[in-house]
Amino acid sequence: MKFHKILFLCSLLLATFISSAQVDHPVEYSYAISKADYKAGDSVDFIINAKILDGWYLYSSEFVADGPIKFTCTIQNSKDFSAGTVQPYKPFAHLDPDWDNTEVKIFQSVGQFRVPLLVNKEGKIILNGKIASQSCSSVEGRCVPVDVKLSDIDLSSLPISDYQVADPAVYDHYKTGEAPKTETVTPAETPEDTDTKDESMWSLLITAFLAGLTALITPCVFPMIPMTVSFFTKQDKGKGVKQAMLFGLSIIVIYTLIGVVFSVAFGKNFAQALSTHWIPNVLFFVVFIIFGVSFLGMFEIVLPSSWGTKMDQLSEKGGVIGIFFMAMTLVIVSFSCTAPVASSVLILASQGNFARAIPAMLAFSSAIAIPFMLFAIFPQWMQNLPKSGGWLNTVKVVLGFIEIAFAFKFLSVADRVYHWHILDREIYLIIWIVLSFLLGVYLLGKLRFSHDSPSDTVPVSRFLLSVVFFCFSIYMVPGLWGAPLKFLSGYVPPQTSLDFDLYSSSKILLSSIPDDRGTVKYSGKYKQPYGIKGFFDFQQGLDYAKKHNKPLFVDFTGESCTNCRKMEDGVWIDEDVISLLKNEFVVVSLYYDDKSSLPSEEQYISALDKELKATVGDKNLDFQVSNFNSNAAPYYVILGHDGMKPLNKPRGFNADIPAFKKFLEDGLKKFKGEK
């Protein structure tokens, strides 16, 4: 009996070992040839057969979607033959949840590819090259690259294949063309990440809609409402309403087309560079300053008058075309007021993905168009509209102050990512404090610009709004000495950039882990909040965690990451959370947007996307995607000392303090082997 138990345990361990090895190598390749009796001038196919582990699938070589690594076979040039393009054999269509449910082509169980060769001689032909591919698990929700070298393959020694899989009776789906059933791949992102994305999109749409309403009450647009609506109300009731609806829809189409052009011109792959590279951020800073001072009255930004004249002439044609160009005339004439607001919406949308620019502009334009349609349907409502006057210029000036304030947000991103240290937290806050205070003074009528009308009284609405900005200015003052300013978390530079921080020093808790870290990589650039003494290099952190027998808390973060700062200022600051992080874990913060160059000997070509990783940020992001199938930030992973398998489910952005504390406690229990 004892012998059988030992045999069973040995078998179980062996099976576990074999299974583990297979997961690391989910695809095995073998090779064949279409015919053996080839001669000079003949075409022959080099055939690649793939045997795929159960529960895994292999991406094919032909599909439109960007993102997954497609199957490629690169064959070195030879005087003996010329190689063509690799062709897949009957891949299946698959909606991939890891890539926004875009359609890709995959193989399951087995796969087959062919590479046509034009041979230039008879006899022995040697082939060298490389296969690059990616396989993903439909159970584990992770992907691994599967790269194979083709070394000195003698075509004449290969078996002959007729493009049929080894055992068609087992794989009947090759006959029917129907894919076998498989579980949906579970993405690495957490439910909290998905909720955050949905919340972020709704937040963007609401912000864009409010921005459209703001643009509506500027001096260039608001006076156009009664003029335009009167044109429709002079028509027959039914005809006027129809024309008003077409007019509103035309405005929506025009602005949405701007969003489409913006998305197509740049593409989603440019979004990250836009949010972290210094050139676009400094450019946006300059653009916002220009728009801001133009709203204050320094100058006016207008399109060529000939454009408006031409659109006005085309609008006189009547019909649908005439209504469309009438809407185009409104867009052009109001450009000086709407362009700064619309560009702000586009830039805000592009911080996540350029595709978001389309729904953002749809929401923005709807806010402008809907009032025109409603007033045409219910003209009696026009009597309740306030008269045009100096208040419109007040709206424009307020927008100017806000544009200038937000301009420094973009300069701050470049400053933090590139470590210029010209706009640290206290400097940034001083600028916002002064701008907010001056805006309050302006609203009280104590500060006037060139387009302002003189007034001896201050309306109650302006007085109340001035109180709001005075209070906001006072609220920011304690931040100069370290107050967390949770309301502004992520929108102002982090507290670690302060030279004099009274608040954080009072929150620093003594750690039970001795500070024997030695020289910490990148410590001259980064500081962890609340006195955490961790690392900024994964291997250093792992070595230290092993030394002190602590689990590793990996913090995938970024200098330009707004939600990362919200988590630090709103969740990490909790005494229980910071105590756990400081005493029970070794914290490693890996910045995806660090532009520091890696030493030449540490630069490498990623097996995941075949691109050179030349900066610290490139290396950290590649590490995150390759090992955890996620590029979210923030992204928190708790690891032991035995590999890249998380001790519990990784966590994205979620400001629930008890849930985050439980996440830390669960990971700690798993590390200690507790149930």
Question: For residue 222, is pLDDT > 70?
Answer: yes
**In this predicted model, what pLDDT tens digit does every residue of 138-183 receive, in sequence order?**
665 667 777 788 888 888 788 887 555 433 333 343 334 444 333 3
Longest dimension (CA), the chain: 103
% of the chain at pLDDT higher than 90: 13
Helix axes of 237-266 and 335-350: crossing angle, nearest 10 degrees:
50
Region of residue 152 (phi > 0: left; psi between -120 and 50: alpha; otherwise: beta): left
Q: How confident is the model at residue 638 (pLDDT cuts 50, 70, 90)?
A: very high
Q: How confident is the model at residue 355 (pLDDT cuts 50, 70, 90)?
A: low
Distance CA 491, CA 566 (A): 9
Distance of CA 609 to the CA centre of its chain: 17
What would the two tokens of residue 353 be?
Answer: 């993905």
Q: Check residue 441 and give its pLDDT.
A: 94
Q: Report CA torsion sign: 435, 439, 441, 445.
A: positive
Distance CA 546, CA 556 (A): 20
Query: Omega of the bond prior to 180 within 30 degrees of 0, cis?
Result: no
What would the two tokens of residue 540 be?
Answer: 């250093």
Q: How confident is the model at residue 443 (pLDDT cuts 50, 70, 90)?
A: very high
Nearest to 540 by CA among 518, 514, 512: 518
Q: Check residue 353 and give its pLDDT.
A: 54
Mind spelling out the 3-state secondary structure of 117-153?
A: EEECCCCCCEEEEEEECEEEECCCCCEEECCEEEEEE
Distance CA 191, CA 209 (A): 27
Question: For residue 11, is pLDDT > 60?
Answer: no
Q: How confident is the model at residue 3 (pLDDT cuts 50, 70, 90)?
A: very low
Region of residue 84 (phi > 0: left; psi between -120 and 50: alpha; otherwise: beta): beta
Q: Check residue 449 and give its pLDDT.
A: 86
If 0-12 CB within 10 Å is exposed, 13-18 middle and 19+ buried, where does residue 487 land?
exposed
Nearest to 55 by CA among 181, 172, 188, 165: 181
Q: Check residue 97 and give its pLDDT.
A: 66
Q: Check residue 354 and give its pLDDT.
A: 55
Q: Check residue 315 and give its pLDDT.
A: 58
Q: How confident is the model at residue 659 (pLDDT cuts 50, 70, 90)?
A: very high
Q: Convert 39-74 to b/e letters by CB count within 10 Å (16 or more is b).
A: eeeeebbbbbbbebbeebbbbbbebeeeebbbbbbe
Distances (CA, A) of 373 to 44, 242, 292, 315: 67, 9, 30, 18
Distance of CA 66 to the CA centre of its chain: 15
Q: Residue 144 phi/psi, 5° resolution?
A: -135, 145
| More confident of the two residues 424 and 507 | 424
Mean per-residue pLDDT, 91-98: 73
Q: Check residue 469 and give its pLDDT.
A: 94
| More confident of the two residues 412 and 495 | 412
Q: Check residue 357 and give its pLDDT.
A: 75
Least confident of 180-184, 478-482, 570-574, 623-627: 180-184
Distance of CA 42 to the CA centre of its chain: 50
Distances (CA, A) of 433 to 57, 438, 468, 477, 488: 56, 9, 13, 7, 13
Q: Check residue 463 and give its pLDDT.
A: 92
| More confident of the two residues 374 and 195 | 374
Q: Check residue 171 and give its pLDDT.
A: 38
Distance CA 23, CA 56 (A): 9
| More confident of the two residues 675 and 530 | 530
Q: Check residue 310 and give its pLDDT.
A: 61
Distance CA 565, CA 20 (A): 38
Region of residue 521 (phi > 0: left; psi between -120 and 50: alpha; otherwise: beta): beta
| Contact of 18 with 73, CB cutoff 8 Å | no
**Any idea what DSSP says for residue 651?**
B
% of the chain at pLDDT higher than 70: 78
| More confident of the two residues 540 and 345 | 540
As a whole number of Å, the CA-based R_g of the chain is 31
Q: Check residue 13 and give its pLDDT.
A: 39
Q: Using alpha carbons only, what angle is made at residue 279 by residues 274 and 281, rounded to the nearest 5 degrees?
A: 60
Tell me the pTM.
Answer: 0.55
**In this predicted model, what pLDDT tens digit does every residue of 448-468 receive, in sequence order?**
887 787 777 888 988 999 999
The residue behind tokens 């490693």 is: 588
Q: Check residue 21 and give its pLDDT.
A: 38
Q: Check residue 15 and give its pLDDT.
A: 39
Helix (H, G, I), strand (E, B) or coil at 650: coil
Least confident of 225-229, 438-442, 513-517: 513-517
What would the two tokens of residue 224 be?
Answer: 């156009």
Mean pLDDT of the chain: 77
**Any idea what DSSP says for residue 453?**
P
Mean per-residue pLDDT, 3-23: 40
Name residues whose C-beta falls within 8 Å of residue 368's C-beta, 6 or more positions apart in sequence.
212, 215, 216, 221, 251, 255, 338
Structural domains in the chain, CATH included, are 24-162 (2.60.40.1250), 191-390 (no CATH), 508-672 (3.40.30.10)
Long-range contacts of 332-335 (CB under 8 A, 24+ apart): 332/303, 332/307, 332/308, 333/220, 333/224, 333/308, 334/215, 334/218, 334/220, 334/221, 334/224, 335/220, 335/301, 335/302, 335/303
| Contact of 545 with 641, CB cutoff 8 Å | yes
Question: For residue 301, is pLDDT > 80?
Answer: no
Distance CA 498, CA 423 (A): 10
Q: Check residue 662 and give its pLDDT.
A: 94
Strands (E), 558-602: 586-591
**In this predicted model, what pLDDT tens digit does every residue of 618-637 receive, in sequence order?**
899 888 888 888 777 889 99
| More confident of the two residues 251 and 62 | 251
Q: Check residue 592 and give its pLDDT.
A: 87
| Contact of 608 with 69, CB cutoff 8 Å | yes
Q: Check residue 308 and give its pLDDT.
A: 57
Distance of CA 117 to the CA centre of its chain: 42
> DSSP assignment of 596-622, as one string?
PBPPGGG-EE-TTT--EE-BHHHHHHH
**In this predicted model, what pLDDT tens digit does every residue of 25-51 receive, in sequence order?**
688 888 888 887 777 878 888 888 888
Helix extents (H) in 154-236: 173-176, 191-216, 224-233
The residue count of the chain comes to 675
Q: Check residue 273 and give its pLDDT.
A: 56
Distance CA 405, CA 158 (A): 69
